[in-house]
Structure 1
């Protein structure tokens, strides 16, 4: 018996999406590339691989194929973190990101010692990650790559984004879609039987 393959839906991974370790706020790069943000998240290193893969796979499935084909811009905010967290984030993204990566922008740790370690670490490990990585010192550096209007207020931008509202809209629209598909299939089967 053939099993139906269906795409991952928000309701399937609602608990993982609630953690907010990765966000698709609707911002775009100058060329239209969708932006996925990895905000400060203290438990990022302890996230199960399945949670990471599910959320990132889901987020990369949302933009249109045209937008996704341009490549995603990743913004990793680790200003209050350590180099080890930056390195773990980059390694996880390099190893399991399911989409076309255009650019990875990293807001490096702001503490002097951690910033120095990050500078050395990125020079030593850049080739390991096999992606275009730009280390940024500040939000104003980030604004040189992405317009403020495409960034949320946490990143010094003006893009309005509420994660709980986004989740609500995604789950409601997907539930309505499921109902529509079910009704359509039922009507199709009914018309075939007549």
Structure 2
């Protein structure tokens, strides 16, 4: 997945969409999903906590989101380092407190750029990070099936740099489609691993 300017793993949450009103979309289920996503980064990145970008430009965050963030942080202290709330500045006076988490309210994508380079953001945030959720889900399922690891998240498959509470059924793929999916994923990872910021971080240790 992508990362912020300090190398922390990045998680994007979009607050618009009818899925937020779904019966399963409770604070408890969201907290379980967030904790699952926190377990995915490599150990070094995991220890530094996630940076969560909340895109609330079209709709204010549902109360369940902040409850879930508080619950996840309480269950696993330090799993979330920063929340970047992309919304109107007026929201700053009404945002909920998240103990132990740095919360920044950002009024524009330009302000977001102080924390996250555009190369690490998806097109929805006017970035160039190459990401296809459907292909990632397919590759992840193939990997899990190959390793026979029961790592299914509580309510939906995660998005590496973007999370939206939706249940997405994924059909069984024939072998040739699996091979093509793996090739596309390898090409995608090649582009990610050749990112200048990542190479600089590797050189700096």
Deviations 1:58-79 (A, max 9, x none): 2112111111111110000110
1:69 aligns to 2:42 (yes or no): no
Runs of 4+ more than 6 Å apart:
none
1:174 is paired with a residue whose SS is helix
Structure 1: 5+ residue stretches without partners = 1-25, 110-114, 180-194
Does structure 2 conserve the Cα–Cα contact (< 8 Å) formed by 1:107 and 1:136? yes
Unaligned residue ranges in structure 2 (runs of 5+): 150-205
Question: What is the alpha-carbon distance in structure 1 between the residues aligned to residue 62 and residue 104 of structure 2?
Answer: 12
Alpha carbons 1:45, 1:89 under 8 Å: kept: no
Q: Residues of 1 paired with 2:136 and 2:108: CA distance?
A: 27
2:94 aligned partner = 121
Q: Which one has the bigger helix percentage?
A: 1
The secondary structure found in structure 2 opposite 1:81 is: coil
Q: Does 1:58 align with 2:39?
A: no
Q: Secondary structure at the match of 2:148?
A: helix
| Equivalent residue pairs, number | 143
Query: Relative CO higher for 1 or 2, CA cutoff 8 Å, sep ≥ 6?
Result: 2
1:143 aligns with 2:122: no
Q: Would you say 1:91 and 2:67 are equivalent positions?
A: yes
Partner deviation per Cα, 1:47-92 (whole Å, 9 max, x = no partner)? 134531332222112111111111110000110113xx26542232
| Alpha-carbon offset, residue 175 of structure 1 | 0.6
User: Which has the larger Rg?
Assistant: 1
Q: Which of the numbers 99, 107, 112 marks the counterpart of 2:86?
A: 107
